[in-house]
Structure 1
Amino acid sequence: MKYIAAYLLASLGGNDSPSAADVEKILNAVGSEVDSTCTAKVIESLNGQSVEALIEAGQEKFASVPTGAAAPAAGAAPAAGDAPAAAAEEEEESSDGSMGFGLFD
Structure 2
Amino acid sequence: MSNKATTTPQMKFVAAYLLAVLAGNPSPSAEDLSAILESVGCEIDNEKMELLLSQLSGKDITELIAAGREKFASVPCGGGGVAVAAAAPAAGGAAPAAEAKKEEKVEEKEESDDVRSLPLLL
- Please report the TM-score for the alignment, with normalisation by the length of structure 1: 0.65
Aligned to 1:8: 18
Cα root mean square deviation, aligned: 2.0
Runs of 4+ in 1 over 3 A off after TM superposition: none
- How many residues are paired up? 74
Aligned partners of 2:21 and 2:63: how far apart in 1? 13
Unaligned runs of 5+ in 1: 75-105
After superposition, what is the alpha-carbon deviation per residue over 1:53-105, rounded to whole angstroms, capped at 9, x for unaligned?
Answer: 0110111011000112324xx9xxxxxxxxxxxxxxxxxxxxxxxxxxxxxxx
Which one has the bigger helix percentage?
Answer: 2
Query: Residue 41 of structure 1 is aligned with which of 51, 55, 60?
Result: 51
The alignment-based identity, stated in percent, is: 50
User: For 2:38, what is the secondary structure of its paired residue?
Assistant: helix
Deviations 1:22-44 (A, max 9, x none): 11110001111110011001101
Larger radius of gyration: 1
Find the aligned partners of 1:47 and 1:24 in 2 and give their Cα distance.
17
Return the alpha-carbon distance in structure 1 between the equivalents of residues 58 and 22 of structure 2: 15
Instruction: Show structure 2 runs of 5+ residues with no match.
Output: 1-10, 85-122
